[in-house]
Amino acid sequence: MAEGSLIFISGGVRSGKSSFAEKVAADLAKQTGGNLHYIAAGKAYDSEMEARIQRHKEDRRKSGMSWITWEQPARLAELSEFFGENDIILFDCLTTLLNNELFLAEDLWRKQDFQEKVSSGILQAIAEIHQRCKAIIIVSNEVLNELIGGNKLVFTYGEMLGRLHQKIVEVANQAYLVEAGIPVQMKGEPA
């Protein structure tokens, strides 16, 4: 069975990474005729977040394509059975998922075996979805080019996120860094 493609897209806040990811997903769905799925890891816990989610929903509605939306703040693997082999999956975003998984329980994040369980769980979920569908597009954030300092929590989170990004980029068919709305292709053949 031909494996689908895995596309990694990262960028700063408001860099246009989500719009770019949506466009990539919609273009692929037009080619394959499969369903378009949107997996949101974000939970609306305040009005600002709610507005942000609404804006993203509105953008997707305007794209003229029909999206199937899933809200999955943790345990991504649970969704994999719902996807078909021609489907395109857009997952937004890894930073939020890692945050939700890692800080699920008070102090567990300090334990190395828990950290490893979280990381391998995320990678496995991505691999499972990747195997089942035509394409999975993973959106994440650029947060590692600043002072991390002495805060253990921030350090642990940064280390885990960086390692996850490295592992995902390693298996990705394409990887993009979005700067000011411009996707810079870092890996793969130009689409």
What is the distance between the alpha carbons of residues 5 and 86, in angstroms, rounded to a whole number?
Answer: 11
- 71 labelled ligand-binding: yes
DSSP track, 50-85: HHHHHHHHHHHHHTTS-EEEEE-SS-GGGGGGG--T
Site string for another protein, 126-165 (x = CB under 8 A): ----------------x-xxxxxx--------xx-xxx-x
What is the distance between the alpha carbons of residues 188 and 135, in angstroms, rounded to a whole number?
Answer: 14
Among 43, 52, 57, 187, indicate the residue that binds another protein (CB under 8 A): 187
123 binds another protein (CB under 8 A): no
182 binds another protein (CB under 8 A): no
Structure tokens at 147: 């002072």
165 is catalytic: no
Nearer to another protein, 20 or 38 (CB): 20
Site for another protein in 19-58 (CB under 8 A): none
CB of 188 to another protein, least distance (A): 10
Contact call for residues 138 and 6 (beta carbons, < 8 A): yes
Nearer to another protein, 112 or 145 (CB): 145
What is the distance between the alpha carbons of residues 20 and 26, in angstroms, rounded to a whole number?
Answer: 10
CA 138 vs. chain centroid, Å, equals 3
Q: Residues at the annotated binding site for GTP?
A: 11-18, 40-42, 57-60, 71, 92
Q: Which residues are identified as catalytic?
A: 56
